[in-house]
Amino acid sequence: MSRPHGIPLPSAHRSSDAPAPAYDDDEQGQPRPREDARQPTKAERVRTLVENNASVSLTLPGARDHGPGYWEPAARTVTPEGDVVLLVPWDSPTARAAAYAQDDDLTCVMEITDVAPVAVRQRIRGRAWLAGWLTAVRNEDRARFERLLAERHPERSPSLTEADRPAWMLVRLETGEISVDDLWGAGGVEPADLGAAEPDPVGRHEAELLQHLHSAHGDQVRGLAGLLGERGGAAVRGVVPLALDRFGLRLRLTAVEGRTFDARFDFPAPVKDTAELRHAMHTLFAASMG
């Protein structure tokens, strides 16, 4: 099926005065890093949001939008074509609308909201929007999509069995337009690039890792501020771990006078799993202790 065009997405472009320094104040908006910083691609960032724990809301014509968390999909994944497969409750507005949809007549916008798992000022870290056309998964595609979901979400595999199918429905969002606006910046993503991207290997465990850093290693996290020179140390009264990916750790710091800014601490090399992440974090903490 060819992809139609023209579904409007919320504006997600960076303003001309958006901050570019590595560390910036909240007076300039959401702090963002240098353009040359090592970072995941836009497609990887969207893929990570789709595959992991960020909240999702679906906007359908004629269906009330209840906001994030209401009728939220039990599982979701991305196909190699860049479409999104969702496992939704059979009695949800999404399932009912998709059941009666023809191939291209049900437009849908999926909004993903990424909220920091640790309480912090400006807690929303980013949003992504995927606009396209929603249909129920056809019988000939069901086995393939169930396999994709089971690979990404083994904890949800019981919901895909014959016995549990009446409670759930597989729907497919054929993406036409994708955009993201997050801690790294803003821009559009091609569906093919989304399908080819891989989610960040740290993403699945990021929330629990950040919460653990904040609760069990607060002194070590604060010690990283000393690596910032004059902007760290005594000039800072609050340090919170904000984001973690395979490239490094981002902290949100509050200065004594109340200003907020972010600092990025890159790992020596991108990590591939939690074992490499543990070693990279030990390296960071050792550097902060001199």
pLDDT for 19-38, tens place per residue?
222 444 444 444 455 555 68
What is residue 193's three-state secondary structure?
helix
Which run of H or of E encompasses 209?
helix 206-216
Q: What is the pLDDT of residue 174?
A: 95
pLDDT above 70 covers what percent of the chain? 77
Q: Which residue has the tokens 């340090």?
A: 239
What is residue 59's three-state secondary structure?
strand
Query: Which domains are present in the chain?
Result: 41-197 (2.30.110.10), 206-288 (3.20.180.10)
Q: What is the pLDDT of residue 30?
A: 46
- Residue bearing the bigger pLDDT, 19 or 42: 42
Supply the pTM of this predicted model. 0.84
Cα distance between residue 270 and residue 248, in whole Å = 8
pLDDT at 103 exceeding the cut of 80? no
| Mean pLDDT score across all residues of the chain | 82
| Pairing relationship of beta strands 168-182 and 84-89 according to DSSP bridges | antiparallel
- Residue bearing the bigger pLDDT, 164 or 117: 117
Per-residue pLDDT of 144-191, as tens digits, reads 998 988 888 776 655 555 445 568 889 999 999 999 999 999 999 999
Dmax (CA) for the chain in angstroms is 64
Collect all residues with Cβ–Cβ distance below 8 Å to 220 and sequence separation of at least 6.
285, 288
